[in-house]
Amino acid sequence: MNCEYQPKEQAIYQAVLALFEDGADINNITVAEITGRAGIGKGTAYEYFSGKEEMIAKAFLYNGEVFCRQLYEGVCREKTLADKVNYVLLAMEDQITKTNCVFRLMQMLSENSAVSNWIHKLLKEKRETGIVPAEDVIRAALTDELNERKMPPEEMLTYLMMSVYSKIFCYGMLINDDKYRQEERRKRVRELVNQSICREVTELFELS
């Protein structure tokens, strides 16, 4: 599923992500910075990518994939919905406080830049290939509910996903807020968000 990344390709990804983590502005990263950080020649990058935008887009998607795979495994390991959600929230917290790349990727989905055009294009291709990690995670989180087969109508599911996504997003914003720097408060919020998500999910499936 993953080992098909060539070394230099992966070096580029890691360089882009490292630069981002160091606070670089994605829209002003230079190819020289990327290749310098990756420890390869500038020309080499162009053996693997058609341009700077592709490098950045793929780097963030790469990160997204790795993250989703981690989430997927974690979610599968946990038993209850609450534990699954908790695992996701904790992983998100980790991501956000450390790199924030996933957050930025989600943001780019609604931007209109060369990089985000690449992201959309690549996602479309992936979707056609059948690989959609983010949705896999959600499906894995809802196995129990989905197995009972009282399926709610499709647009309700879309709404649910958006809603859950927004709660996680909200959680992400909160832990970025100064008021929630302490683990104590974070925990309380995490529980609130968790309950809120679980309730929404169960209600939806009970109703239908």
86-145 residues in contact with a copy of itself (CB under 8 A) are: 103-104, 107, 110-114
Answer with the entry of DNA, a copy of itself, none that 69 interacts with (C-beta below 5 to 8 A by kind): none
Angle 9-50-59 from CA coordinates, rounded to 5°: 40
Answer with the entry of a copy of itself, DNA, none that 112 interacts with (C-beta below 5 to 8 A by kind): a copy of itself
Handedness of CA 37, 41, 44, 50 (dihedral sign): positive
Cα separation, 25 vs 181, in Å, equals 24
Residue 43 near DNA by CB under 7 A: yes
Q: How far is the CB of 110 from a copy of itself (least distance, A)?
A: 7
Residue 46 near DNA by CB under 7 A: yes
Residue 29 near DNA by CB under 7 A: yes
Residue 158 near DNA by CB under 7 A: no
9's tokens: 């390709």
| Residues at the site binding DNA, with contacts judged by CB under 7 A | 7-8, 28-32, 40-44, 46-47, 51-52
| Residues at the site binding a copy of itself, with contacts judged by CB under 8 A | 23-28, 103-104, 107, 110-114, 154-155, 158-159, 162-163, 165-167, 169-171, 173-174, 176-177, 179-180, 185, 188-189, 192, 196, 200
